[in-house]
Chain A
Amino acid sequence: MKQPLLPRLLFGAFVGLVLIYLILPLLIIVPMSFSATRFLTFPPPALSLRWYAEYFGNPNWMQATRMSALIGLLTVIVATPLGTAAAYAISNSQTKLMRSLHMMLMLPLIVPIIIIAIGIFFIYAKLGLIQTLTGLVLANVMLGLPYVITSVVAGLQSFDKTQEMVARSLGMNRFRAFLTVTLPQIKASVFAGGIFAFISAIDETIIALFVSGGQYQTLTKRMFTALRDEIDPTIASISTLLTAASFILVLLATSGQKRAA
Chain B
Amino acid sequence: MPQRRLTFRTACATAGLSLALLSPLSAQAAEQIMFVSQGGAYQKAQTIAILDPSAKKLGITINQDSVPDAWPIMRSQVATGKPSWDVVDVATNFCLRGGEQGILEKLDFSKIPNAAAMPAEYRSDYSVAYEFYSSVMGYSLKKFPDAATAPKTWADFWDVKKFPGRRSLRNNPLATLEAALMADGVPADKLYPLDVDRAFKKLEEIKPHITVWWTSGAQSAQLLNDGEVDMVMAWNGRISALTKEGAKVAYTYNQGILQSTSLCVLKGAPNLPTAIKFLNEAVDPVHQANLPLHIDYGPANPKAYDTGVIPAARVGELPSAPANAKVQALMSYAWWTSAAGEAAEKRWLSFAQK
Contacts and interface: CB of A to CB of B under 8 A. Distances in A.
Question: For the complex, would chain A's binding face be called helix, strand, loop or mixed by DSSP majority?
Answer: helix
B22 A250 contact: no
A256 interface: yes
B8 A225 contact: no
Given A69-B18, A73-B22, A250-B6, A39 B13 contact: no
Contacts of A128: 80-82
**Chain B interface residue count: which class?**
35 or more
B4 A228 contact: no
Interface stretch (A100-108, A161-169, A171-179, A189-197): A189-197
Contact of B7 (A39, A73, A131, A192): A192
Contact of A195 (B7, B34, B38, B66): B7
Interface string B95-110: 0000000000000000
A227 B4 contact: no
Interface string B15-30: 1011101110110000
Identify the interface centre among A188, A245, A246: most chain B CB within 10 Å of its CB: A188
Given A230-B41, A245-B17, A250-B6, A225 B22 contact: no
Given A126-B80, A217-B65, A231-B221, A63 B18 contact: no
Nearest to B65: A214
Contacts of A225: 39, 66-68
A145 B36 CA distance: 34
A257 B226 CA distance: 47
A92 interface: no
Nearest to A228: B216
B165 interface: no
Given A125-B79, A214-B34, A253 B9 contact: yes
B217 A229 contact: yes
Contact of B68 (A38, A125, A229): A229
Contact of A231 (B13, B66, B222): B222
A93 interface: no
B85 interface: yes
Given A188-B8, A229-B38, A131 B13 contact: no
A50 interface: no
Nearest to A260: B5
A73 B19 contact: yes
A160 B82 CA distance: 53
A212 to B, nearest CB: 10
A217 B64 CA distance: 12
A63 B24 CA distance: 10
B13 A227 contact: no
A180 interface: no
A131 B76 CA distance: 11
Given A131-B84, A229-B40, A39 B15 contact: no
Given A131-B84, A252-B13, A125 B76 contact: yes
**Residues of A in contact with B, size category:** 35 or more
Interface in A91-138: 121, 125-126, 128, 130-131
Given A121-B76, A213-B65, A231-B222, A195 B21 contact: no
A231 B40 CA distance: 9
A103 to B, nearest CB: 25
A189 B4 contact: yes
Given A39-B225, A228-B218, A191 B11 contact: yes
Contacts of A187: 8
Interface in A14-73: 37-41, 63, 65-66, 69-70, 72-73
Nearest to B85: A214
16 contacts: A40-B222, A63-B25, A69-B22, A76-B15, A121-B76, A130-B80, A188-B1, A191-B11, A191-B12, A195-B7, A195-B10, A213-B67, A229-B68, A249-B13, A250-B6, A253-B6
Given A39-B225, A246-B10, 16 more contacts: A37-B245, A63-B26, A126-B80, A187-B8, A195-B7, A195-B14, A198-B14, A213-B73, A225-B39, A225-B68, A229-B218, A230-B40, A230-B218, A231-B222, A246-B14, A257-B5
Interface of B: 1-2, 4-15, 17-19, 21-23, 25-26, 34, 38-41, 43, 63, 65-68, 73, 76-77, 79-82, 84-85, 215-219, 221-222, 225-226, 245, 247
Interface of A: 37-41, 63, 65-66, 69-70, 72-73, 76, 121, 125-126, 128, 130-131, 187-189, 191-192, 194-195, 198, 213-215, 217, 225-231, 245-246, 249-250, 252-254, 256-257
Nearest 4 CB-CB pairings of A with B? A229-B40, A228-B216, A195-B11, A253-B9
